[in-house]
Amino acid sequence: MNHDEIRELVHAHVDGELDLISGREVEQHLHGCGECRRAEEQIRGLHDALTSSAPAYRAPAHLRRSIRRALRREANVSEKAFSPWLIFATGAAFAIIVLGFVLFQTTRASQGNKLVDEVVSNHVRSLLATHLVDVASSDQHTVKPWFDGKIDFAPDVHDFAISGFPLVGGRLDYLDGKTVVALVYQRNKHPINLFITPATGSPDSSPVPFTRRGYNLLSWVHRDMRYWAVSDLNEAELKQFASLISG
Amino acid sequence: MFGLTQSSRLTEFERKILPHLDSAYDLARFLMRNDHDAEDVVQEASLRAFRFFESFRGENGRAWFLQIVRNTAFTALRKRYPEEMNVSFDEELHGEPATEPTDAGIAIDRAQDRQIVRAAIEKLRPEFREAITLRDLEELSYKEIADIAGVPIGTVMSRLARARRQLRQILSNPK
């Protein structure tokens, strides 16, 4: 190796990333080359300054607690300790659920209530948090291959910008205990989440509408795939979107 | 991982992934540059990691988790600072001249102060903050960093070299 090549490897040498033979070669070069030796000293000096000042941050205790709480909630494992507050909260939550149930009796919801709720929750969460899409692209040839190897089925991905429903991107989500594909489209300013999961053996069906918390949902089966479309868009336009997907 | 009940899935997750919360927070904190955003990122990344825990093959819990943290943080950065993050970052074009700063002892000797070093790291661009945090603070290998950042090892090496050079420059000319 010549001087320039060695110069490139000084960091790797200091970091202990070189194999024995290259390491020895760099070592020998350092003996005879003042410039590289100075570089090495500077790298070590910086590293010492970094470690001795211990700038690393550590997770605060309240964050740890909050994460454990959120994970328990996610795993549906109840808290071990029953505090009075928790009992009150449970009671309050129960009351809200009963109230919600009564109210929702007036909607058209018929089946798969829990799943419908989960679809809406996923939709809301994707808008609140920062993870609307993992692969942001309006190019179906970028979005579709992104799912390769992450899931065991290949969803159809098309951009419908021409019809006014441009593709925004995709991500993985979690629905009914399974990893599912979520494609994100946009209609004017309204984001649409389209969840896709395999439904092998189920016959094709036309979209069934639901309403939850002000969101419109459509669910249907097309060519062995179940689709859930959810948005704050009006039902007519959402149906137009569904017909494009099954087009 | 299939066939586990939710509660044993949680136990597994607490045993294999949660011990790395400190590293996760360290990375998120240096990327986001404030407590509040860093906590949001780690909280969200933890939930996402738990949801996709099936895809964890059991080899390297820290690198697996840090990759999710990193992706969550960069998504948040792109959302928060779209102008800064939209500038495409070309490894070659953005390289500064190869000349070393002409300093001898530099201020690093005086930079024992944790706050000075933290502030200096925060002046770097996100990819460099990531490289310094993962290598010099969390002491991950080049290979692990390459996997986490989704770039070749050569890119990790050049990012580290440039990040360290800039960091030395910042530390030697404190304003």
Structural domain span for residue A9: 3-52
Q: C-alpha angle with apex A140: A137 to A142, nearest 5 degrees?
A: 60
Q: Is the pLDDT of residue B110 over 70?
A: no
Residue B103 Cα distances to A38, A42, B36, B78, angstroms: 11, 10, 37, 35
Within a 10 A sphere around the Cβ of A17, how many other Cβ atoms? 19
Q: pLDDT digits over B137-161, tens only?
A: 999 999 999 999 999 988 999 999 9
pLDDT (0 to 100) of residue B94: 47
Same domain, yes or no: B94 and B150: yes
For residues B66-80, average pLDDT: 93
In this complex, is the C-beta atom of A95 within 8 Å of any C-beta atom belonging to chain B?
Answer: no
Chain B contacts of A56, Cβ < 8 Å? Answer: 22, 26, 133, 137-138
Chain A contacts of B54, Cβ < 8 Å? Answer: 179
What CATH number should be reported for the domain holding residue A185? 3.30.200.100
Domain limit, last residue, from B82, B116, B146: B82
pLDDT (0 to 100) of residue B112: 55
pLDDT (0 to 100) of residue A179: 85
Window B:107-166, CB contacts with A under 8 Å: 108-109, 111-114, 116-118, 121, 132-133, 135-138, 141-142, 157, 160-161, 164
Domain for residue B1, yes or no?
no
Q: Is the pLDDT of residue B108 over 60?
A: no
What CATH number should be reported for the domain holding residue B122? 1.10.10.10
Same domain, yes or no: A241 and A122: yes
**Number of folded domains in chain A?**
3
pLDDT (0 to 100) of residue A105: 58
Q: How confident is the model at residue B111 (pLDDT cuts 50, 70, 90)?
A: very low
A75 → closest Cβ in B6, B41, B135: B6
Q: Averaged in consecutive runs of 10 residues, what is the pLDDT profile of chain A (247 residues)?
A: 87 91 91 93 90 89 94 70 65 80 56 79 77 80 85 89 91 85 91 92 89 90 93 93 90
Same domain, yes or no: B102 and B134: yes
Q: Is the dihedral of CA A72, A77, A79, A84 positive or negative?
A: positive
In this complex, is the C-beta atom of B94 within 8 Å of any C-beta atom belonging to chain A?
Answer: no
In this complex, is the C-beta atom of B62 within 8 Å of any C-beta atom belonging to chain A?
Answer: no
B54 → closest Cβ in A53, A72, A179: A179
According to DSSP, the β-strands at A225-231 and A135-136 are unpaired
CB contact under 8 A, A63 and B21: yes
pLDDT (0 to 100) of residue B1: 43
Q: Which of A67, A121, A126, A147 to mutate to test the interface with B (most CBs of B within 10 A)?
A: A67
Q: pLDDT higher for A69 or B86?
A: A69
CB contact under 8 A, B161 and A45: no
Chain B contacts of A39, Cβ < 8 Å? Answer: 100
Q: Among residues of chain B, what percentage have pLDDT more than 70?
A: 81
A71 → closest Cβ in B35, B50, B72: B50
Q: Among residues of chain B, what percentage have pLDDT more than 90?
A: 60
pLDDT (0 to 100) of residue A120: 86
Which three-class secondary structure state does DSSP give residue A243?
Answer: helix
Same domain, yes or no: A94 and A127: no
Q: Is the dihedral of CA A18, A21, A24, A28 positive or negative?
A: negative
Domain for residue B71, yes or no?
yes
Same domain, yes or no: A23 and A80: no
Q: pLDDT digits over B14-60, tens only?
A: 999 999 999 999 999 999 999 999 999 999 999 999 988 988 887 89
Structural domain span for residue B104: 89-172
